Structure 1
Amino acid sequence: MKLAAAVNGYLDQLERGRTLSENSLNAYGKDLHALQVFAEENRVVDSAEMDTELARSWVWAMAEAGMAAASLRRKVSALKGFTAWLAVQGLTEGDVGLRVRAPGATRSLPRVLSRHQMEELLATLEERCATQDPVALRDVALVELLYATAMRVSELVGLELRNLDLETHSVTVMGKGSKERVLPVGNPARRALERYLTSSRGSLLDGQVSPYVFVATTGKQLGVRSVYEVVARLIADFPGVGPLGPHTLRHTAATHLLDGGADLRSVQELLGHASLGTTQIYTHVSTERLTSAYQQAHPRA
């Protein structure tokens, strides 16, 4: 059964059972449709393909993006009810959500890396590139691009060759609501992309053809989950509480821009936020970092 049909079937049963209020039912529906979208972004369209790794990745992505603990608990509750139903219906081999847990309370402000940490991360990647390993060349290109442009991970994996214009140092992405944005690309990211495209991508494709910029070792489009795994491994050793992934690089880029004097409206346009209020959280991050530096460095703090 297609995952979309399974979600609708489960919600229909909940509605018939009359065990949830209308508000709770609407919330569960919103949560499970979000799960469906995440699964489809990872090329999972059939309920039989649902597994624990995908379920955990969904929860992890939301936690890493800074979702409040109460909202996470509700989403995990919706997930676990759905996966239990899938198992009872014989649509999956066992309950794939049985061992999924909501992370503890998350920080109210986005987790960001310092400039030093970003330099350390990129230096580590460059060391791996010395062997001309195709995967390492790809990984440094995607990390450089995520940090340079602050694009969403879904925008990164959906990036096609026709979206690149390295001569003008820009890429075009399709954001939420099918809105296009043209993003500037700095020299380090451009060089990393050119190196990947000329020395790595062909090896990964191994004779296959793909319109997508970033491909897996199978030659297929690189998935959202794979990017999470790549970035999570790279920043796992940095201090901080909570799961970290590609969204951390988006938070970091936005914060570093504001630290460097960029105006809020420009950062809003770069991030593709519909509301300036959504972008304003990064001003609080910058203020928090300034306060921390002041308390550590000023003799009369």
Structure 2
Amino acid sequence: MSDLSEAWSSALADFEHHLDAERNLSAHSVRAYLTDLTRLAEHATKLGIEDPASLTLRSLRSHLAAQQTLGRARTTLARRATSTRVFTAWMSRTGRARTDVGAMLASPKAHRELPVALGHDDIRALLDATTAAVSHDGPQGSRDLAVLELLYATGIRVGELCGLDIDDLDRERRVVRVLGKGRKERAVPYGAPAGEAVEQWLRHGRPSLATEASGPALFLGARGGRLDQRMARRIVHERLAAVNGAPDVGPHGLRHTAATHLLEGGADLRSVQEILGHASLGTTQIYTHVSNERLRAAYRLAHPRA
């Protein structure tokens, strides 16, 4: 931001404080907003707009058009349009601009791929194979099983899993307290198989890996520190590689799988939204498309006049 005018730099710094201190967004989300808006500021500066209060709808559309010319994906364009609208609304609300010029800015429709979910046979084979390997793999095998069982049982994000402390588990009621996006806390239930896997890890696996640096972390790496997201992803990929024919998905694939299987089993959309920690029901609705696709596939295979 060093090449931007004082007006732009000041506005972006204040907006960053707003996102962090007032909206409690994660550091990752704040960085994404600032990256998008820095691109906007650079484009506006080239147009001679040295103050964000002088932005117009035409200049905003020019920015998105320039991004499209550079070959940016529709998902990126949609995100940058959203970042722009949030910024201009904040400018207007805080008196930094007379009107919200971004209110009429349309987003390019992002193409949404249906999430890849494991079938029931795949998830069963994954968990059975990992269970069978525990005696051979020792403490890390016990940890891997607990990680997989908990990811599938709860549908939590990998970052949420790695951030869990032992006290976040209510082991009697089988509920885990999760700190999600925007630092919002939610309680997610889990079943008996996940509960048993976690108990075995806590009793027989974790004590073998724990060190003074372990602190209260629920899951540990090989050296005793808190399990990081990179290692958690590696666990899922490596354990899935042992299952013949299973798609290669990461922790987010297990989240998709949990949501899909819940809906297929009769869970209502609102309940799945709360379990996953989605702010919008629209985000959860993509899983109904997955379930409907499987329903149509089954119909085509089974009905004589399909």
Distance 1:108 1:166, change over 3 A: same
Whether 2:38 is the aligned partner of 1:30: answer no
| Structure 1 residue identity aligned to 2:208 | S
Higher radius of gyration, 1 or 2? 2
Question: Quick one: distance in 2 between partners of 1:241 and 1:169?
Answer: 29
SS state of the match for residue 176, structure 2?
strand
Question: Quick one: distance in 1 between partners of 2:246 and 2:197?
Answer: 30
Which of 150, 154, 163 in structure 2 is aligned with 1:149? 154
Map 1:24-103 → 2, pairs under 5 A: 29-30=34-35, 71=76
Whether 2:232 is the aligned partner of 1:227: answer yes
Question: Quick one: distance in 1 between partners of 2:231 and 2:292?
Answer: 33
Whether 2:124 is the aligned partner of 1:119: answer yes
Aligned residues: 220
Whether 2:192 is the aligned partner of 1:187: answer yes
Whether 2:297 is the aligned partner of 1:288: answer no
Q: After superposition, what is the alpha-carbon deviation per residue over 1:257-297, rounded to whole angstroms, capped at 9, x for unaligned? A: 00000000000000111111110000011001111122223
| Structure 1 residue identity aligned to 2:257 | T
User: Structure 2-normalised TM-score?
Assistant: 0.64
Distance 1:175 1:28, change over 3 A: closer
CA contact (8 A) 1:236 1:244 kept: no
Distance 1:287 1:178, change over 3 A: same
CA contact (8 A) 1:205 1:217 kept: no
| Alignment match, 1:196 | 201
Question: Quick one: distance in 2 between partners of 1:168 and 1:256?
Answer: 22
SS state of the match for residue 177, structure 2?
strand
User: What's the RMSD between the two structures over aligned residues?
Assistant: 3.3
Deviation at 1:29, TM superposition (A): 3.9
Q: Which has the higher contact order (CA 8 A, sep 6+)?
A: 1
SS state of the match for residue 150, structure 2?
helix
Whether 2:253 is the aligned partner of 1:258: answer no
| Alignment match, 1:276 | 281
CA contact (8 A) 2:214 2:220 kept: no
| Structure 2 residue identity aligned to 1:131 | H
CA contact (8 A) 2:149 2:197 kept: yes
Deviates more, 1:149-158 or 1:227-236: 227-236
Question: Quick one: distance in 2 between partners of 1:241 and 1:124?
Answer: 13
Unaligned 5+ residue runs, structure 1?
Answer: 1-10, 17-26, 34-67, 76-105
Deviation at 1:138, TM superposition (A): 0.0
Deviation at 1:298, TM superposition (A): 2.4
Distance 1:237 1:127, change over 3 A: closer
Distance 1:126 1:241, change over 3 A: closer
CA contact (8 A) 2:166 2:217 kept: yes
Which of 175, 183, 199 in structure 1 is aligned with 2:180? 175
| Structure 2 residue identity aligned to 1:288 | E
CA contact (8 A) 2:214 2:226 kept: no
Question: Quick one: distance in 1 between partners of 2:241 and 2:169?
Answer: 30
CA contact (8 A) 2:122 2:246 kept: no
User: Structure 1-normalised TM-score?
Assistant: 0.65
| Structure 2 residue identity aligned to 1:108 | E
Identity of aligned residues (%): 50
Question: Quick one: distance in 2 between partners of 1:209 and 1:239?
Answer: 35
CA contact (8 A) 1:161 1:213 kept: yes
SS state of the match for residue 136, structure 2?
coil
Question: Quick one: distance in 1 between partners of 2:263 and 2:291?
Answer: 7
| Alignment match, 2:115 | 110
